[in-house]
Amino acid sequence: MAVKSESYFGEKDLWGFIHRSFTKSMGYTEDDLRKPVIGICNTFSELNKCHSHFNELVDYVKRGVWQAGGMPMEFPTISIGEPYVKPTTMLLRNLMAMDTEEMMKAHPIDGVVLLGGCDKTVPAQLMAAASANIPAIVLTGGPMLNGRLQGRSLGACTDCYGFTLEHKAGNLSDEELATAENSVCRSDGHCMVMGTASTMASIAEAIGMALPGCAAIPAPDSRRRHMSEATGKQIVELVRRNIRPRDIMTMDALENAIRITMASGGSTNAIIHLVAIAGRLGFKLPLETFDRISAETPFLLNLRPSGKYQMEEYFEAGGVPALMKELEPLLHGDCLTVTGKTIKENLASEPRTWNPDVIRPMIDPLDSQGGIAVLKGNLAPNGALIKQTAVSPHLKKHRGKAVVFESPEDLAARIDDPDLEVDASSVLVLKNAGPKGAPAMPEIGQIPIPAKLLRQGVRDMVRISDARISGTSYGALIVHVSPEAAVGGTLALVETGDEIELDIAAKRLQLHVSVEELADRRSGWSAPKPHYDRGYGLLFHERVLQAHLGCDFDFLLPPDLREELLREEAEGPGISKS
Spatial distance between the Cα atoms of 192 and 207, rounded to a whole number of angstroms = 21
Shared domain for 38 and 166, answered yes or no, is: no
Q: What is the pLDDT of residue 460?
A: 96
pLDDT < 50 stretches in the chain: 575-578
Contact 467, 438 (CB under 8 A): yes
Shared domain for 138 and 62, answered yes or no, is: yes
- Is 354 domain-assigned? no
- Is 540 domain-assigned? no
- Is 90 domain-assigned? yes
Shared domain for 392 and 503, answered yes or no, is: yes
- Is 438 domain-assigned? yes
Shared domain for 334 and 379, answered yes or no, is: no
What is the per-residue pLDDT across 469-515, written as a single tens digit (0 to 9) for each?
Answer: 988 788 999 999 999 999 999 999 999 999 999 999 999 999 999 99
Q: What is the pLDDT of residue 113?
A: 98
Spatial distance between the Cα atoms of 61 and 190, rounded to a whole number of angstroms = 19
Spatial distance between the Cα atoms of 389 and 393, rounded to a whole number of angstroms = 9
Contact 373, 398 (CB under 8 A): no
* Total number of domains in the chain: 3
Instruction: Give strand ranges (E) for 270-396.
Output: 372-377, 380-387
What is the per-residue pLDDT across 353-382, written as a single tens digit (0 to 9) for each?
Answer: 999 999 999 999 999 999 899 999 999 999
Determine the length of the chain.
578
Q: What is the pLDDT of residue 235?
A: 98
- Is 565 domain-assigned? no
- Is 457 domain-assigned? yes
Amino acid symbol at 154: L
* Domain endpoint, select from 126, 161, 182: 182
- The number of angstroms, rounded, from the C-alpha of 280 to the middle of its chain's C-alpha atoms is 16
Spatial distance between the Cα atoms of 520 and 522, rounded to a whole number of angstroms = 5
Element (H, E) at 412: helix 408-414
Shared domain for 337 and 439, answered yes or no, is: no
- Is 561 domain-assigned? no
Spatial distance between the Cα atoms of 201 and 297, rounded to a whole number of angstroms = 20
Shared domain for 51 and 139, answered yes or no, is: yes
Provide the domain limits for residue 202.
5-13+29-145+187-348
Shared domain for 135 and 157, answered yes or no, is: no
CATH assignment at residue 513: 3.50.30.80
Shared domain for 300 and 449, answered yes or no, is: no
* Domain endpoint, select from 484, 510, 528: 528
What is the chain's alpha carbon radius of gyration, rounded to the nearest angstrom? 24
Shared domain for 338 and 250, answered yes or no, is: yes
Spatial distance between the Cα atoms of 399 and 462, rounded to a whole number of angstroms = 9
- The number of angstroms, rounded, from the C-alpha of 188 to the middle of its chain's C-alpha atoms is 20
- Is 75 domain-assigned? yes
Q: Is 433 helix (H, G, I), strand (E, B) or coil?
A: coil
Shared domain for 63 and 131, answered yes or no, is: yes
Spatial distance between the Cα atoms of 423 and 403, rounded to a whole number of angstroms = 10
Least Cα distance to 122 among 107, 108, 106, 143 occurs for: 143
Q: What is the pLDDT of residue 577?
A: 39
Shared domain for 279 and 193, answered yes or no, is: yes
The interaxial angle of helices 319-327 and 196-206, nearest 10 deg, is 60
Written as one string, the DSSP assignment of 230-298 is HHHHHHHHHHHHT--HHHH--HHHHHHHHHHHHHHT--THHHHHHHHHHHHHT----HHHHHHHHHHS-
Contact 326, 361 (CB under 8 A): yes
Shared domain for 137 and 157, answered yes or no, is: no
Contact 475, 164 (CB under 8 A): no
